[in-house]
Amino acid sequence: MTPRPFTLGPALLFCPADRPDRFAKAADRADAVILDLEDGVDPAARAEARRAVRGTPLDPARTIVRVNPVGTEDHQRDLDALADTDYTVLMLPKADGRYVGPLLRHDGSPYAIVALCETAAGVLAAPALAARPDVVALAWGAEDLVASLGGTASRRDDGTYRDVARYARSAVLLAAGAAGKAAIDAVHLDLEDLDGVRDEAVDAVAVGFSATLCIHPSHAAVVRTAYAPTPEQVEHARAVLAAAAGPGSTGSGAARFDGQMIDAPLLRHAEAVLARAAEPVLDDR
C-alpha cells in the first residue's frame, strides 16, 4: 500500500520528544508538529522521550515523528516504541543510499517517510530517495551537511547560505519535483532573526517548496504568513486566469494581459497562487 501524498504545512514545528508539556502548545502554533527523537533530545533521555511520545498522543494527521538514523540502535528502539501508536509519518534523518526500507507499522503497512537529506551522501542520493514509493517528501538540512564535509559554517557573515548549501537546497528541490514529491525547506537557526525567516520562506514558496521546518513557534507564525499569498497576488492571479479564459485569448494556449503575453507556465504560476489561497481555479478557459 502506497502512503498518501504529503500535504502537511507550510509551517512544520520541531518539538523535543522529551517535553510532552510542549506537545499541545506546538500543535496549536503550527500546521504540523515534528516530535523529535533525534537531535532535539539528549541521548540519555531518549528512552524517556519514547515513553512521552507513546503516553502523550497528538493528532496523527498533523504529527510527524523524527526517528534516529538507519543503522543506529536508537533507530530500532524508536520503531519498536512507535509500533502500536497511530502515527503514520516518520522523518528519517541523514537519509542516504543505506535506506532500503520500507519501514513497516505494526499492521504491516509502510510508514510514510520524509527523507531528510542532510549529508553529502544524502544530497547525492536525493533522486533515488524521491523515487521510492514510501517516501512522500524530501527535506534538507544545512548544518549536518557542512559537518559531513568537514566544514564549519553553512552561512556567510551576512547570514546568507554558502554555495554548497545553496546547491544542496536546489538539488533536493529538483529531485523532489522530478518525482512529483513535496520538498521541505530547512530551518533558520537564528531565533531572533524573524526577517531572515520571512525572506527565506518567501523565496521557498516562490521556487516550489511545500513547507518549511521551524524550530520556534514565532518562526511558524512568520512562515505561515510568508506562504499565504497577499490579496494583491490573489487578485493578479485571478485576473491572469480570467484573461486566458476571455476574449483576449489567442486560442493557442497564450493570452494577452496587462501588455504582456501569458502562456501555459504563467497560468500554472497563477493556479499555484490560488491553490495556496484556497481559491477556486477557473477551468473554463
The stretches of the chain forming alpha helices (DSSP H) are 23-29, 46-55, 73-82, 120-124, 126-130, 142-148, 163-178, 194-207, 217-227, 231-245, 264-276
**Inter-helix orientation angle 73-82/46-55, to 10°:** 20
Alpha-carbon torsion (50, 55, 56, 62), positive or negative? positive
Distance between CA atoms of 21 and 253, rounded to whole angstroms?
Answer: 54
Could you tell me how far CA 53 lies from the centroid of its own chain? Answer: 21
Are 223 and 29 within 8 A, CB to CB?
no
143 marked among binding-site residues: no
**Can you read off the three cell numbers belonging to residue 65?**
515523528
Cell 531572515 belongs to: 196
In the 8-state DSSP scheme, what is residue 103? -
Instruction: Tell whether residue 166 is among the known ligand binding residues.
Output: no
Is 118 labeled as ligand-binding? yes
Which residues are known binding-site members for substrate? Answer: 66, 118
Which residues are known binding-site members? Answer: 66, 118, 144
Which residues are known binding-site members for Mg(2+)? Answer: 118, 144
